[in-house]
Amino acid sequence: MISLSKRALFSMVGLMLALSVAGIATAQSTKIEEGFDYRILPMPQPVETKGKVEVIEFFWYGCPHCYDFEPELSAWVKRQPKDVVFRRVPVAFRDDFMPHSQLFYALEALGKGDALNEKVMYAMHKENKRLMTENEIADWVASQGIDRNSFLATYRSFAVVSKARAARQMADAYRIDGVPTIVMQGRYVTSPSIAGTKSKAITVMDYLEQKIRKDKYK
């Protein structure tokens, strides 16, 4: 018959073994590998700001996966230090998606991007608003308290149309074939679909952020 003290000893050893196995499993599950959790662009693109960690999200307002990833991504952006520069680039995989890119840059030009980007996605994914035509877009923007004529003048402006076209060219240069896609420092590419889950993508972004700093922002 095992004494109480021996029972306690066996229980402690069993617990230590269980914790050890759990620790190994956790370490393995969080292992980050090039080619699996992220990939490297064959032709790195130039960054806009030297001495910073540049993070770009390529997205499309109409993408349900972008909408689903938004809360985790926004939370990640909010906790970043000053050496992290984040920006979004709208992707138009088809000509009829270009109005959404123009909407993004028009709101940005009016200083309303941060306030309305999430509301645009909510309107499309939860309120079933298509926002595919100029009139549909202008009506919705007006419902948000923005002067319709002022918005349309900005939406149709050469600057906004040029930015929308440049964004499409940029997506081609970065070889973006799906959204949401995160590119860091013009070379490291990850996403929830590449990493496997939204939470793993955030973990990979943290890993790449530290790697970029360790490599002196290269």
Q: For residue range 5-53, list pLDDT tens digits in order.
A: 555 444 544 444 444 444 433 334 579 999 999 999 999 999 999 999 9
Q: For residue 71, is it within any domain?
A: yes
Place 213 in a pLDDT band, splitting at 50, 70 and 90. very high
Q: Determine how many CB atoms are found less than 10 A away from the CB of residue 139.
A: 13
* Separation CA 103–CA 61 (nearest Å): 10
- Residue percentage of the chain with pLDDT more than 90: 85
* Separation CA 70–CA 165 (nearest Å): 24
Total of domains in the chain: 1
- 126: domain CATH number is 3.40.30.10
Domain that holds residue 132: 39-214
The whole-number average pLDDT for the span 114-142 is 97
Q: For residue 22, is it within any domain?
A: no
Across the chain, where does the E strand assignment appear?
A: 39-40, 53-59, 84-90, 181-184, 188-190
Please report the pLDDT score of residue 202 as a whole number. 98
The whole-number average pLDDT for the span 139-161 is 98
The whole-number average pLDDT for the span 112-119 is 97
The whole-number average pLDDT for the span 120-128 is 98
* Separation CA 103–CA 155 (nearest Å): 7
Q: What is the mean pLDDT of the chain?
A: 90
* Separation CA 197–CA 69 (nearest Å): 10
Q: For residue 12, is it within any domain?
A: no
Q: For residue 7, is it within any domain?
A: no
Q: For residue 175, is it within any domain?
A: yes
Q: For residue 9, is it within any domain?
A: no
Helix (H) / strand (E) element for 89: namely strand 84-90
Please report the pLDDT score of residue 29 as a whole number. 52
pLDDT in tens, 61-91: 999 999 999 999 999 999 999 999 999 999 9
Please report the pLDDT score of residue 30 as a whole number. 74
- Residue percentage of the chain with pLDDT more than 70: 87
The whole-number average pLDDT for the span 89-101 is 97
Tokens found for residue 5: 């003290």
pTM of the model: 0.86
Q: For residue 56, is it within any domain?
A: yes
Cis peptide before 71 (omega within 30 of 0): no
- pLDDT at position 164 over 70: yes
Q: For residue 102, is it within any domain?
A: yes
